[in-house]
Amino acid sequence: MGRSRTSQFQDPRGIAGRIAGTLMAITNGGMNRFALEMLQPDRAAAVLEIGYGPGAMISLLARSAQAGFVAGIDPSATMLAQARARNRAAVQEGRVELKLGSVSGIPYGDARFDAAVSVNTIYFWPDGPNDVREIRRVLKPGGMLVLTFRVQQGAVDDARIRTVSGPLPVSDVEQWLRDAGFHQIRHEVRRVTPFTAATIVARAQ
């Protein structure tokens, strides 16, 4: 039996995974730009992307942080190959580094990054509250975290994330962040065709 459509977006593999990567590069374009607008990384920033998929957001980050360092982790070897191919020149120059890895165990040292970003991956995180703490560990004090994801839109203050275990209020994610040592937390909801998306921005204390 083949893998489910959801699992191919969570951990793409094989031919179906390569197709899923192509679809992500297309459909996530607006959400990537939304996240980048909220992040606005400095030219010399060290930035981590969690769940880089086919590497489209990595490309945007590498262009913004031209004198910096862009790293990415993703659990999929198929996506690692696609992202490296899409960012071949920057990888060869040493400005981009892509690794296999999970948000639950980020393969970088403490306080390594000025910023971290993740687009359309929070649905698949193994343990949200602890995963947020792991992201905080690799951020410098004052470092920025940007999380962008699709939401089921009601009122702006009642946006909910559709996860495998049911709807998750954005306010719950903001509480994870507070508990993990983030502050200056805010979110914005926006129509990003073909989705309604929310971006949470927070600063590491």
CATH number at residue 111: 3.40.50.150
Residue 195: C-alpha distances to residues 27, 116, 125, 170, 198 (Å) = 9, 22, 20, 16, 10
| Parent domain of 194 | 5-204
> Which pTM was predicted?
0.87
In tens, the pLDDT along 125-170 reads 999 999 999 999 999 999 999 999 999 865 455 678 877 667 889 9
When mean pLDDT is compared across 10-19, 23-32, 86-95, the lowest value belongs to: 10-19
Q: How far apart are CA 51 and CA 101, in angstroms?
A: 9
In tens, the pLDDT along 41-69 reads 999 999 999 999 999 999 999 999 999 99
pLDDT at 22: 52
* Averaged confidence pLDDT in the chain: 88
Task: Name the domain count of the chain.
Answer: 1
